[in-house]
Amino acid sequence: MAKLEQALSHIDLSLDESVERLFSLLRIKSISTDPAFKDDCRHAAQSLVDELSAIGFQASVRDTPGHPMVVAHHDGPGEDAAHVLFYGHYDVQPVDPLELWTDPPFEPSIKELNGARVITGRGASDDKGQLLTFVEACRAYKQVSGELPCKVTILFEGEEESGSPSLQPFLEANAEELKADIALVCDTNMWDAETPAISAGLRGLVGEEIVIKAADRDLHSGYFGGAAANPIHVLSKILAGIHDDNGRVTIEGFYDGVVETPTQVLESWKTLGRTDESFLGSVGLSKPAGEKGRSVLELTWARPTAEVNGITGGYSGEGFKTVIAAQASAKVSFRLVGQQDPEAIRKNFREFVRKGIPEDCSVEFHEHGGSAAIQLPFDSEALSRAKQALTEEWPKPAVTIGMGGSIPIVGDFQSLLGMQSLLIGFAQSDDRIHSPNEKYNLSSFHKGQRSWARILAALQDYKP
């Protein structure tokens, strides 16, 4: 029997013990936002170090100005083995409101829920259950073969639920130690209970605020109306000009670095069952509003956008005031994909705005962050190996998806460690993370372990 098959079998046979180990971790109240649980956080870190050491990792608790990190290393089978960095977090969200929990949040159990067996407790899904799937996969491999298929570095964070203040400095200070061929991040959902998903694209973001000024005070629209520049008019005209009639952004060079999504990827998205109607219908809409001729999944996962997130000017209280405002402002954000350059977008947007400012008006810009998109190449070798591995484990083939929300760790791995990430998780959309009665499907925990065993096997000779 091949090592992978042995490892999978071992995972199946030792599920009860691995659940017990998860329960032990879940009983630790590692709430990172509340200083009262500082010792609990360290306790969680230490218990993970102990577990990893038991499997043969060189593991240690590493201090930070906040809660500690866990870093662990395990050699691969040889010099040529791939090197993976696995990331998860051991801290959990607060439990309020406590009265809504059916069972105490730090007393885990297994229950029946809607015909499935689930592990309950704070952190069961986010992220203790998820991170243990990887640890248990390593344990099984080690148990059956005495080694791991890849060289493995593990990084567990204890501040993910409180904004990760120590993460960037820690990555910078330990870049050499942490850098690997690829990062594996386990903190995301499956597409549905039968379909595993890899998030391969995270859109970037550029935020800009523009303030257009005209007269040096608010004016009476009877006395000045028709003669004085109205900054709301100027602003409206500029904002209206950002998109053409086909929904494309008109700012010069905006699409530089944007690549078309391959047809086979678009085709695979069609099979996901998220239609324009189902996606938009959930919020009372029906028609995609952006670039014409593209599906909602392509529009939200693979196309750049310009959105006005806020606008204000003049009087907008009760009743009416016949005022010509002295200034009007808008907050505009751009979602970036592919190789779009945040600073070039910002520069070209400002140029675009300036062209619309008449002689009598002025404009001020305020910068609100900028980050490039994270996009695994559609033909990424690591991506296709992981997809194949997941497809062998689950009822339905794995899908490559995009994500709207950003996951800072992925950008940090890219920019600070020069490393791409595979975002693979086994959580379900009904796991109630951050809410009372959090749960993790037993099948997620079980097949998650099996998935990582398969992925480690698939990546063993991977080179970026």
- State which of positions 319-348 bind a copy of itself (CB under 8 A): 319-325, 328-331, 333, 335
Query: The sheet that has 362-371: what strands, in order across it?
Result: 327-336, 204-213, 362-371
123 or 338: CB nearest a copy of itself: 338
Binding-residue total with a copy of itself (CB under 8 A): 80
Count Cβ atoms below 10 Å from residue 63 Cβ, excluding itself. Answer: 13
Q: Give 157's strand partners.
A: 89
285 binds a copy of itself (CB under 8 A): yes
Contacts of a copy of itself in 380-419 (CB under 8 A): 403-406
Amino acid in position 33: T
1 or 283: CB nearest a copy of itself: 283
324 or 386: CB nearest a copy of itself: 324
13 or 285: CB nearest a copy of itself: 285
300 binds a copy of itself (CB under 8 A): yes
User: Smallest gap, in angstroms, from Cβ of residue 14 to a copy of itself?
Assistant: 39
Q: Which of 194, 178, 88 is nearest to 138 (CA)?
A: 88
User: Smallest gap, in angstroms, from Cβ of residue 337 to a copy of itself?
Assistant: 10
Q: Which of 432, 431, 434 is nearest to 94 (CA)?
A: 434
Alpha-carbon distance 343 to 351, whole Å?
12
50 or 360: CB nearest a copy of itself: 360
Contacts of a copy of itself in 194-253 (CB under 8 A): 203, 205, 207, 209, 214-217, 219-230, 232-233, 235-237, 239-243
31 or 336: CB nearest a copy of itself: 336
User: Smallest gap, in angstroms, from Cβ of residue 267 to a copy of itself?
Assistant: 19
CB neighbours of 237 closer than 8 A, spacing ≥ 6? Answer: 356
Q: What one-character DSSP code corresponds to residue 35?
A: G
116 or 211: CB nearest a copy of itself: 211
Choosing from 255, 279, 365, 378, the residue that interacts with a copy of itself (CB under 8 A) is: 279
- Considering only CA atoms, give the Rg of the chain: 25
310 binds a copy of itself (CB under 8 A): yes
Could you tell me the CA-to-CA distances from 28 to 22, 88, 231, 461 in Å, in that order? 10, 16, 57, 37
**Applying CB under 8 A, which part among 65-73, 288-296, 346-354, 427-435 lies near a copy of itself?**
288-296
**135 contacts 70 by C-beta, under 8 angstroms:** no
Alpha-carbon distance 206 to 187, whole Å?
25
User: Smallest gap, in angstroms, from Cβ of residue 132 to a copy of itself?
Assistant: 28
43 or 331: CB nearest a copy of itself: 331
Choosing from 305, 414, 437, 441, the residue that interacts with a copy of itself (CB under 8 A) is: 305
User: Smallest gap, in angstroms, from Cβ of residue 413 to a copy of itself?
Assistant: 19
Choosing from 102, 259, 308, 364, the residue that interacts with a copy of itself (CB under 8 A) is: 308
Alpha-carbon distance 232 to 328, whole Å?
6
Alpha-carbon distance 134 to 137, whole Å?
5
User: Smallest gap, in angstroms, from Cβ of residue 397 to a copy of itself?
Assistant: 24
Could you tell me the CA-to-CA distances from 333 to 87, 238, 306, 363, 462 in Å, in that order? 29, 14, 6, 17, 37
